[in-house]
């Protein structure tokens, strides 16, 4: 691990890990979370750009936008509660076809930093700016961050972003300052429908599983939890979701990649490549002394063997 470049403060005692459970079936797309976040953290607006993509005009998480509501207008595949247009008639003689009058479902969910339990950004940070704080949340220490941006490319969700103003990386702090004083994070507090819930992760997960059963029982067969449990190479998330459509519909990766999970293999490739290069060099050296040297093996073949 890198040496501490600063006078480390006293390590606070770990608390029960906290996080967010965001339930898409309750989201009304109001964006109160976005504004409450900007208000508490006094973040600037990202700019006034109309995008024509449903009602999404902030478009993505950024250094100044730490909550972002995604919208998706999807064709309705029939059945289920969120088939609100089920009564809607297609115009009988539509020139274009009935598709244009077909019922749709309008998906909304509030995205945020996932506060991964094993966070690639933390793993990539060379300065010690990114830490797990005492609540188990992933936190960028502003007095440490040097703006190198390694974390930006490490994050599979595109959460981390470097600000042009101060050159540092800013993202959701999970209202670290508020949690320290026993206050609920601003977004979860503001959310009118409790689509965003905050609490100890163990409780949130239990609540989410219960909620999932409830939602499925009333006909939302496609509902599932995203990030509540580890999946593939990825850890569970400190901010997980209940969704009713494919992750891609909400701009979430179906299988997020954690760079460090690939490290052993990458190191192995590197080592083998080095060996192969040495072999090539040796062969070239030998070849310069005689035509009877053995035929070389290409590095690619060596890689294939490793794989």
Question: Taking CB under 8 A as the criterion, which residues in 13-52 touch another protein?
Answer: 26, 28-32, 34-36, 38-50, 52
Report in angstroms the alpha-carbon separations of 227 from 133, 177, 188, 214, 252: 20, 25, 18, 19, 11
Smallest separation, CB 221 to another protein (Å): 16
Of positions 6, 265, 300, 306, contacts another protein by CB under 8 A:
6
Is there binding between residue 126 and another protein (CB under 8 A)? Answer: no
For residue 139, give the nearest of 128, 153, 150, 152 by alpha carbon. Answer: 128
**What is the rounded CA–CA span in Å between residue 175 and residue 111?**
15
Is there binding between residue 261 and another protein (CB under 8 A)? Answer: no
Q: Which two tokens stand for residue 303?
A: 């890689």
Is there binding between residue 87 and another protein (CB under 8 A)? Answer: yes
C-beta of 57 vs 222, nearer to another protein = 57
Smallest separation, CB 276 to another protein (Å): 34
Size of residue set near another protein by CB under 8 A: 94
Looking at 147-155, 169-177, 198-206, 288-296, which segment touches another protein (CB under 8 A)? 169-177
Is there binding between residue 180 and another protein (CB under 8 A)? Answer: yes
Is there binding between residue 288 and another protein (CB under 8 A)? Answer: no
Residue 167: HSE in the Cβ half-sphere, 13 Å Cα cutoff: 6
Is there binding between residue 89 and another protein (CB under 8 A)? Answer: yes
Query: How many other CB atoms are found less than 10 A from the CB of residue 167?
Result: 12
Smallest separation, CB 101 to another protein (Å): 5
C-beta of 38 vs 258, nearer to another protein = 38
Is there binding between residue 236 and another protein (CB under 8 A)? Answer: no
Of positions 60, 148, 163, 280, contacts another protein by CB under 8 A:
163
Looking at 9-17, 148-156, 245-253, 262-270, which segment touches another protein (CB under 8 A)? 9-17
* Structural Rg of the chain based on CA atoms: 25
Is there binding between residue 81 and another protein (CB under 8 A)? Answer: yes
For residue 62, give the nearest of 88, 40, 83, 34 by alpha carbon. Answer: 34
In the range 181-220, which residues lie near another protein by CB under 8 A? 181, 183-184, 186, 189-193
Where residue 155 falls (left for φ over 0; alpha for ψ -120 to 50; beta otherwise) is beta
Per DSSP, the three-state class of 87 is helix
**Is the separation of the CB atoms in 194 and 209 below 8 Å?**
no
β-strand pairing of 224-226 with 239-243: antiparallel
Overall residue count recorded for the chain in this entry: 307
Which burial class, exposed, middle or buried, applies to 237 when counting CB atoms under 10 A from its CB (0-12, 13-18, 19+)?
buried
Per DSSP, the three-state class of 24 is helix
Of positions 178, 216, 257, 260, contacts another protein by CB under 8 A:
178
Looking at 105-113, 148-156, 243-251, 292-300, which segment touches another protein (CB under 8 A)? 105-113
Smallest separation, CB 243 to another protein (Å): 15
C-beta of 244 vs 276, nearer to another protein = 244
Is there binding between residue 8 and another protein (CB under 8 A)? Answer: yes
């Amino acid at each position: 691990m890198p040496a501490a470049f600063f006078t480390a403060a006293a390590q606070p005692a770990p608390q029960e890990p906290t996080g967010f459970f965001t339930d898409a079936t309750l989201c009304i797309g109001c964006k109160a979370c976005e504004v409450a976040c900007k208000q508490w953290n006094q973040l600037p607006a990202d700019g006034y750009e109309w995008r024509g993509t449903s009602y999404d005009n902030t478009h993505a998480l950024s250094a100044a936008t730490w909550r972002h509501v995604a919208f998706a207008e999807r064709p309705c595949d029939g059945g289920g509660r969120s088939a609100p247009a089920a009564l809607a008639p297609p115009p009988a003689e539509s020139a274009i076809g009935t598709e244009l009058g077909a019922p749709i479902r309008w998906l909304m969910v509030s995205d945020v930093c996932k506060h991964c339990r094993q966070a690639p950004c933390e793993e990539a940070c060379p300065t010690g700016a990114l830490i797990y704080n005492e609540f188990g949340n992933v936190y960028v220490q502003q007095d440490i961050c040097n703006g190198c941006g390694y974390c930006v490319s490490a994050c599979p969700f595109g959460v981390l972003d470097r600000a042009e103003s101060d050159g540092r990386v800013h993202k959701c702090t999970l209202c670290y300052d508020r949690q320290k004083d026993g206050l609920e994070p601003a977004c979860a507090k503001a959310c009118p429908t409790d689509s965003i819930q905050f609490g100890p992760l163990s409780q949130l997960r239990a609540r989410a599983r219960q909620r999932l059963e409830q939602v499925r029982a009333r006909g939302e067969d496609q509902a599932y939890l995203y990030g509540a449990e580890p999946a593939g190479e990825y850890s569970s998330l400190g901010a997980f979701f209940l969704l009713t459509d494919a992750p891609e519909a909400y701009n979430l990766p179906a299988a997020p990649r954690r760079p460090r999970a690939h490290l052993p293999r990458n190191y192995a490739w590197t080592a083998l490549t080095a060996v192969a290069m040495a072999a090539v060099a040796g062969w070239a050296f030998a070849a310069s002394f005689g035509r009877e040297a053995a035929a070389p093996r290409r590095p690619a073949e060596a890689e294939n063997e490793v794989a």
